[in-house]
């Protein structure tokens, strides 16, 4: 769906290449775009006629098991990161698809199965090496260039190009209690009402997401259910598996499920469990809202829309957040929407260009219907390319400070192929 053609693509092998590319773009007044993992559907890593700085070759990970920290290069996917960290039974909170790039995920905030216990990805970022618009390399942390470090933790790619992240790691795995419980769509109301009540009681170690879609041809689902609407509860517990079984048992005991594959799983395998649903080559459009509660009106809307999905690949997911995420102040990092208890993402996915308008319009109308029940905030990594007007929603009261920091480190807005934060002079 992204039909743009850069004038030049620089495939960087290290910091020297990044610095040279930024200097070249500045001297020749070229628009810069940056590719990390290439996962996001907004397509901001591509610009017509500009210079694309491709970091996908920079995929080194160095784990220090003594300090429980990791140095991670910006071309890494979550699979690259997890592979190295799990060699020492360590991990940090990241997303739920292993093909996601660590750079884009982190710069937008980052959340997943571990976030209720350990916070967002940015809450576990200790420092970063950044090539700024003037071509300098800065190491930023709480003690060095603290303003830029604050802005990087949620402010997207607006402030420079990260060449190395340093993360705090936590003891995780190698096995975790996780899995799916699948219910027929006709029981959606009872399942979602149960989910609403049960999820509110969970300790930080546990998280449950609700997914509504047409059942894919998974091996543990009877063929008769393939292609039919279902409600899926995806569960995860980080900690002692025997304790987790007690915590999550009410889900497995509830209702008449058509499949239950909850059990001990290798953490890295669970991190890759949803990858087959996001293979490359399809057309995608996302719309997202933050919610503080799942009211009856919200459940009604979710159920109605889940019964009228436009394509077999489309899904609606309700991600449970809160926990440690919400214990950090909205102004402590650039990521500002810590009041959300749930994040709803409508992920519409299809195969051919003639279907574009129909599917985009379906997603937008669903988004508009859900808006009256939302907090007004949004997770910047779920914003599509046509959502520039939601920058204020993404950053709230932090936007003014972000604009000031942007003016300090990128006053000419070189890094603008993104969900752009304007320098103060432009705003």
pLDDT single digits (tens) 206-232: 999 999 999 999 889 999 999 999 999
What pLDDT does 385 receive? 78
CB contact set of 219 (below 8 Å; sequence gap of 6+): none
What pLDDT does 87 receive? 98
Give the residue ranges of the chain where pLDDT is below 50. none
- Ramachandran assignment for 135, one of left (phi > 0), alpha (psi -120 to 50 degrees), beta (any other): left
Which has the closest alpha carbon to 297: 355, 222, 372? 372
Helices (H) then strands (E): counts for the chain: 12, 18
pTM for this model (two decimals): 0.95
What pLDDT does 425 receive? 75
Q: Which residues of 205-282 form beta strands (DSSP E)?
A: 206-214, 229-237, 259-260, 263-266
What pLDDT does 258 receive? 96
What pLDDT does 65 receive? 98
CA-CA-CA-CA dihedral for 369, 373, 379, 381, to nearest 10: -20
Residue 259 pairs with which residues in a beta bridge? 182
Whole-angstrom Cα distance, residue 290 to residue 197?
A: 18
> Which two tokens mark 301?
């809307």
> Which two tokens mark 359?
């599917």
Q: Which residues of 267-415 form beta strands (DSSP E)?
A: 283-291, 315-320, 342-350
Domains and CATH numbers, the chain: 8-54 (3.30.43.10), 61-172 (3.30.465.10), 175-382 (3.40.462.20)
What pLDDT does 427 receive? 55
What pLDDT does 348 receive? 97
Whole-angstrom Cα distance, residue 55 to residue 72?
A: 12
The answer, yes or no, to whether the previous bond of 8 is cis (omega within 30 of 0) is: no
Distance of alpha carbon 75 from its chain centroid, rounded? 16
Whole-angstrom Cα distance, residue 79 to residue 99?
A: 7
Which has the closest alpha carbon to 99: 38, 53, 41, 57? 38
What pLDDT does 210 receive? 98
């Amino acid at each position: 769906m992204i039909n743009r053609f850069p004038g030049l693509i620089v495939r960087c092998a290290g910091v020297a290449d990044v610095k040279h590319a930024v200097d070249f773009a500045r001297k020749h007044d070229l628009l810069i775009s940056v590719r990390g993992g290439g996962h996001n559907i907004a397509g901001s890593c591509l610009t017509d006629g500009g210079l694309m700085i491709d970091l996908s070759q920079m995929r080194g990970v160095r784990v220090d098991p003594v300090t429980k920290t990791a140095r991670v290069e910006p071309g890494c996917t979550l699979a690259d990161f997890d592979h190295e960290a799990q060699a020492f039974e360590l991990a940090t909170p990241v997303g739920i698809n292993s093909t996601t790039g660590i750079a884009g995920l982190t710069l937008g905030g980052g959340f997943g199965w571990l976030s209720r216990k350990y916070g967002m990805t940015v809450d576990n970022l200790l420092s970063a090496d950044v090539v700024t618009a003037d071509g300098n390399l800065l190491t930023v942390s709480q003690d060095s260039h603290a303003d830029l470090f604050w802005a990087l933790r949620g402010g997207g790619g607006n402030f420079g190009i990260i060449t190395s992240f340093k993360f705090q790691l936590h003891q995780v795995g190698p096995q975790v209690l996780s899995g799916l419980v699948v219910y027929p769509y006709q029981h959606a109301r009872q399942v979602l009402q149960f989910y609403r009540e049960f999820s509110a009681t969970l300790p930080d170690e546990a998280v449950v997401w609700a997914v509504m879609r047409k059942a894919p041809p998974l091996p543990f689902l009877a063929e008769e259910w393939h292609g039919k609407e279902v409600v899926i509860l995806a569960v995860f517990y980080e900690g002692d598996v025997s304790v987790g079984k007690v915590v999550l048992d009410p889900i497995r005991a509830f209702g008449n499920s058509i499949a239950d594959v909850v059990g001990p799983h290798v953490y890295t395998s669970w991190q890759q469990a949803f990858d087959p649903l996001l293979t490359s080559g399809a057309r995608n459009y996302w719309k997202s809202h933050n919610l503080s509660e799942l009211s009856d009106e919200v459940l009604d809307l979710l159920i109605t829309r889940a019964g009228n999905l436009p394509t077999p690949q489309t899904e609606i997911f309700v991600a449970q957040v809160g926990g440690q995420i919400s214990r950090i102040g909205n102004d402590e990092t650039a990521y500002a929407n810590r009041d959300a208890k749930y994040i709803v993402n409508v992920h519409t996915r299809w195969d051919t260009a003639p279907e574009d308008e129909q599917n985009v319009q379906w997603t937008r109308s669903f988004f508009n219907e859900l808006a009256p029940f939302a907090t007004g905030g949004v997770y910047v990594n779920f914003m599509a390319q046509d959502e520039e007007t939601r920058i204020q929603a993404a950053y709230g009261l932090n936007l003014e400070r972000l604009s000031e920091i942007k003016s300090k480190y990128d006053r000419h807005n070189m890094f603008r192929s993104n969900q752009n934060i304007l320098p103060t002079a432009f705003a």
